[in-house]
Chains A and B, each alone.
Chain A
Amino acid sequence: MAEITYRDAVIRGIAQEMARDNDVVFLGEDVAKAGGVFKATVGLYEQFGPLRVRDTPISEQAILGAAMGAAMTGLKPIAEIMFSDFFAVCFDYIANEFPKSRYMSNGQTKCPLVVRTGNGAGSRFGAQHSQSVENWCMMIPGLKVVAPSSPIDVIGLLAAAVRDPDPVIFLEHKSLYPTKGEVPDGEIVDRLGTAKIVRPGRDATILALALMVPRAVEAANRLQSEHGIDCEVVDVRSLVPLDTQTILGSVAKTHRLFTVEENPRLCGWGAEIVSIVADEAFYDLDGPPVRITTPHIPLPAADILEDIVLPTPERIMDTVRRSLQS
């Protein structure tokens, strides 16, 4: 067991799959010789060589299109889009091409690829390099969408994504790259569509994703020590497939639901989960589910502004405490 960073977990996850399977190839902007702008691909070029780890031009459509053509014909590509905001530049592939080719062809064609990207805020990059785009992707039939919060999950879920026969959007949180976690030696393979109870509790369920997971855990720990409120924190990990079983099970236990989303409030994934819980577990609830989100605004650059936009442990604590005490 060693403690490694989320960033190193990305490198280890990619390397694990490339070492296992020669059909796994990797492409993106600045990913090979330069080792990635977030240094999340350092050493892969040296380890796997120029045929398997390839620098591309700044051509997001070409990157995702080429990944798709390679996937359709026998490779298992991992494509990097540097910042998830750039999905908008190549969204045809994400919305129209990857997810629909199997259906339109009545099952003839396949698209087993992974798109990795740096997602989320916290780096003071402003509105076009800081978005959380999971909601853009979640609503498209045919895609899978994963967002890990810890190094061990990065490796395991990346392996699961690479081995998955469907196109998977793999959202790495930029602000988590330097964070650390314990990771065992040897191969790690997780399962898509599984949420994880990262902190058990009795009084309320807090659902969170990616950067919001450590913030929810911090809030839960402080709620316990400062107010005696015992919250269960569930790391959703995978939006599609969604582990409704774990979520509904947690709500059945705690009877209260809070979702913590790092994205504009409108049409966020939390709304979908709240809707599922209202449909299927309404009588388990002792109070209305509460969504904690960013406001419906673009992300500001200034640290003082960005900090108040994103849900913080304090905001999560206040919301849970006031809701439970009302």
Chain B
Amino acid sequence: MATAQDRASVPPGAGLNDDIGEDKRLAIYRSQLRIREAEQRAYDLFLQNLVKGTSHLSLGQEAVATGFAEAMQKGDLSFCTYRGHAHTLARGVSVEKVLGELMQRDNGLMRGKGGSMHLTSEEHGVMGSYAIIGAHLPIACGAAWRAQYKGDKDVSVCFFGDGTTNIGAFHEALNFAAVWKLPVVFVCENNLYMEYTPIGDVTAVPHPAADRAASYGLERIIIDGNDADVVYRTAQKAYANARAGEGPSLIEALTYRHSGHSRADPAKYRPEGELEKWKERDPIKIYRERLKQFGVGDKVIADIDASVRKEVDDATEACKAAPMPPLDILTTDVYADGGWAWRN
């Protein structure tokens, strides 16, 4: 099983290498904080019974979504899982659209027809959040195949959890992408738990993604998924390789989920002290310190903090005020003609 100690073998984060630049660093900080605040708000709204159904937060995993998104170019495509709020927000979708969907209001991304697990924003390149484990890895291959066939330069980036690596579609997609040399980047967020069960208890190898990379002729890549700079640099390299026609990458980002698997899960299965230990390496805390190391003033950081909080507050109020979806959307968009008729 992957543990915190594995990070010792991971290349150190930023150090004081300033190749990323202050503007990008501030964007990375803002994005991570935006995800954190929006997801914490989603949790608060659950407790008020304003978010229904289920929801899967990725508190503590913000650096992965942010680092990969910040390295993407316009036109690159993201394929997310049901734990996809972070990846969707990281591509620039508004907090209001995401919270609106979680609250199943008419102002939501899909006007309440998709829900928390199916966030999609084609205009942002967010090509869907897939609630069947592993389903979207082959789909990302197909989008990458289109790019290869048409000579487009976009990359398809496919996020999934450690539990996905034991699904057949994972292996089919990796082999397929490698054989066809597709411009797709597979990102395994190893948060150490497959739902309620430690991934090591149910997986034959210690690193569920990286240890299998060789099976598909791919490089074994394990990174510190809590350091957004490390993630960002790794993403840049993988995307450049994909755009250059060198084929897919499989990246295992080590991280940790601060909350349970879903709304219903208090995560009592975690050993005592584990959460606290990982919270010392909270990606947002790490990044705030990083900014200070690079000489970013307290006021700049405080201003970002305040503006993100205001954005989330404003979005919350807008969603509370938004109407529920009208009933006439119930039967729209089953078929491409806009309707649901299956007979003439």
Contacts and interface: CB of A to CB of B under 8 A. Distances in A.
Interface of A: 25, 51-52, 54, 56-57, 59, 61-75, 77, 92-93, 96-97, 101-110, 112, 141-142, 144, 164-166, 193, 240-245, 276
A69 B145 contact: yes
Given A57-B172, A92-B135, A141-B340, 12 more contacts: A65-B138, A69-B141, A69-B142, A73-B146, A97-B130, A104-B120, A105-B110, A106-B333, A141-B334, A193-B344, A241-B343, A242-B342
Contact of A241 (B146, B175, B333, B344): B344
Given A69-B140, A142-B335, A106 B329 contact: yes
Contacts of B337: 165
B329 A97 contact: no
Give the top 10 A-B pairs by smallest Cβ distance, nearest first: A65-B138, A69-B142, A165-B336, A66-B142, A59-B172, A62-B172, A69-B143, A105-B120, A106-B110, A107-B333
B275 interface: no
A141 B340 CA distance: 8
A153 B168 CA distance: 36
B122 A105 contact: yes
Given A65-B173, A104-B113, A72 B127 contact: yes
A105 B118 contact: yes
Interface in B124-173: 127-128, 130, 132, 135-147, 149-150, 156, 168-169, 172-173
B119 to A, nearest CB: 9
A215 to B, nearest CB: 25
Given A72-B139, A107-B338, A244 B343 contact: yes
- Determine the interface band of chain B, counting residues with CB < 8 A from chain A: 35 or more
A61 B176 CA distance: 10
Given A56-B176, A242-B344, A109 B128 contact: yes
Contacts of A68: 138-139, 142
A56 B146 CA distance: 15
B256 to A, nearest CB: 29
Interface string B162-195: 0000001100110110011000000000000000
Contacts of A51: 149
A245 B114 contact: no
Contact of A75 (B141, B146, B169, B179): B146
Contacts of A142: 334-335
Interface of B: 77, 79, 109-111, 113-114, 118, 120-122, 127-128, 130, 132, 135-147, 149-150, 156, 168-169, 172-173, 175-176, 179-180, 329, 332-338, 340-344
16 contacts: A56-B176, A57-B175, A59-B172, A61-B138, A61-B169, A62-B172, A65-B138, A69-B144, A72-B139, A97-B132, A103-B113, A105-B113, A105-B333, A106-B111, A164-B336, A241-B342
Nearest to B184: A69
Nearest to B120: A105
A1 B324 CA distance: 59
Contacts of B169: 61-62, 65, 92
Contact of B343 (A64, A164, A242): A242
Nearest to B101: A106
Contacts of A103: 113, 333-334
A185 B118 CA distance: 47
A66 B176 contact: yes
Contacts of A110: 336
A321 B204 CA distance: 64
A61 B141 contact: no
A25 B179 CA distance: 18
B120 A243 contact: no
A66 B145 contact: yes
A62 B114 contact: no
Contacts of A243: 343-344
Nearest to B173: A62
A109 B122 contact: yes
A93 B118 CA distance: 15
Nearest to A58: B172
Given A62-B172, A65-B137, A66-B145, A57 B179 contact: yes
Nearest to B147: A73
A75 B142 CA distance: 9
Contacts of A112: 336
